[in-house]
Structure 1
Amino acid sequence: MSVWLPNFLLTIARNPVTALGLPLALGSLSGASTAKVVRGQWYRSLYMPPGQPPRQTFGIVWPVLYLSMGYASYLATQAIDEAPATLVADAKLGLALYYGQLCFNVLWTPLFFGWKQPGIALLDISFLTGTTYYATALLHHATGGKSTYFLVPYCMWLTFATYLNGGIWWLNRGRVLDKVD
């Protein structure tokens, strides 16, 4: 199966600076308004599932994960350029899935915090997590396991984040919450 990727996406991931910078910049833009919402009435009135970390944790973890996933995309382009032909298709599909998960990732914050829709955000993060696991498996083979070191922590965090999102949705379903802050 041949996967087509636009040249500009390959160019972004081929350069380590832009490969790391793109997810970091998109994540920062997407999450810019989050601080205000988590201090607001809507978020503070939500019932939280067990294991909810302090909100400061997210500002530490996410930048590291964005840099990590960006470096994995750089490794994917190296595999596209250097891997045996039998693995190039996996590398291309893995990189295409990487960009797909990046879109789901950027969309999650406005869904959850902006529009205050934990149920729709749960669908998004479920697709995000599944896409990332699949991309990780494909890139593991294509990069000789190098990308796995950078993507497994992200997969683990997404699994935890999916639990948190699902818990918030479950515990608050049917409640009438003020969505204006």
Structure 2
Amino acid sequence: MSSSDFQLPAFLLSAARIPLVAVGLPLGLGLLSGYPTAKVVQSDWYKACRIQFTHSSRSSPAPAQVFPIVWPLLYLSMGYASHLAVNALDGASSPSVKRSDCMLALALYYAQLGLNILWTPLFFGAKKTGLALIDSGMMAAATFYMTKLLAPHYPAASYLLLPYCIWLSLATYLNGGIWWLNRGAHGSEKQE
């Protein structure tokens, strides 16, 4: 099967076709996934984590108040980008490179969305910062490639994804720093 024969399940394409569903899906899943985070950041485990790369062990490169503002905006932006991408796919007249790029980009969109939703339970729930770092790296790679595929043919969708790419770079950097500075410090981390 060639890449031009690749098809996403119809329900995933249908979800992205409806603007409210396209933006609501990542926002809703992100809110559900992130809901338990507020309790965990108040826990002894998180308070004991070294969380940054400067001399003080508690100052963070990004204030905690930024995350609940930025993530919903990113979820809305990525959801609308999926809507624009599926509209571009629907407007493609033949199974050309543009069409196969768009189909692959939409597949990567859903893959990175799944990885995004998995990150919080890995990091905050299971306290597996190393596994969360792998997840974050895979999420960033999928998002960067998705953005690259959309850029030449569907620039509006790729512009909506650029802030997400930047944020994922920061988030992966922070996750990597937390893993590096705390490896072996907690009982759950010794198993990684």
Partner of 1:69: 78
Whole-angstrom distance in 1 between the partners of 2:137 and 2:74: 18
- For residue 109 of structure 2, the aligned residue among 95, 98, 103 is 98
Q: Deviations over 1:73-104 (max 9, x none)?
A: 00110111113532111001100100000000
In structure 1, runs of 5+ residues without a counterpart are none
Partner of 1:81: 90
Q: TM-score, normalised by structure 1?
A: 0.94
**C-alpha displacement of 1:117:** 0.6
Identical aligned residues as a percent: 53
Whole-angstrom distance in 2 between the partners of 1:27 and 1:121: 16
- Cα–Cα, structure 1 residues 13 and 31, in superposed 2: closer, same or farther, change >3 Å? same
Please tell me whether residue 128 in structure 1 is matched to residue 139 in structure 2: yes
Partner of 1:118: 129
Whole-angstrom distance in 2 between the partners of 1:53 and 1:101: 23
Please tell me whether residue 150 in structure 1 is matched to residue 153 in structure 2: no
Q: Deviations over 1:31-73 (max 9, x none)?
A: 0100000011110110011353121110000000000000000
- Cα–Cα, structure 1 residues 4 and 47, in superposed 2: closer, same or farther, change >3 Å? same
Q: TM-score, normalised by structure 2?
A: 0.89
Whole-angstrom distance in 2 between the partners of 1:94 and 1:115: 30
Secondary structure class of the residue paired with 2:52: coil
Partner of 1:36: 39
Whole-angstrom distance in 1 between the partners of 2:187 and 2:65: 24
Displacement over 2 Å in runs of 4+ = 83-86, 176-179
Which structure has the higher relative contact order (CA within 8 Å, separation 6+)? 1
Alignment length (residue pairs): 178
Please tell me whether residue 109 in structure 1 is matched to residue 120 in structure 2: yes
Kept in 2, the 8 Å contact 1:101–1:132? The answer is: yes
**C-alpha displacement of 1:174:** 1.8
Out of 20-29 and 80-89, give the one that drifted further.
Answer: 80-89
The amino acid of 2:63's aligned partner reads P
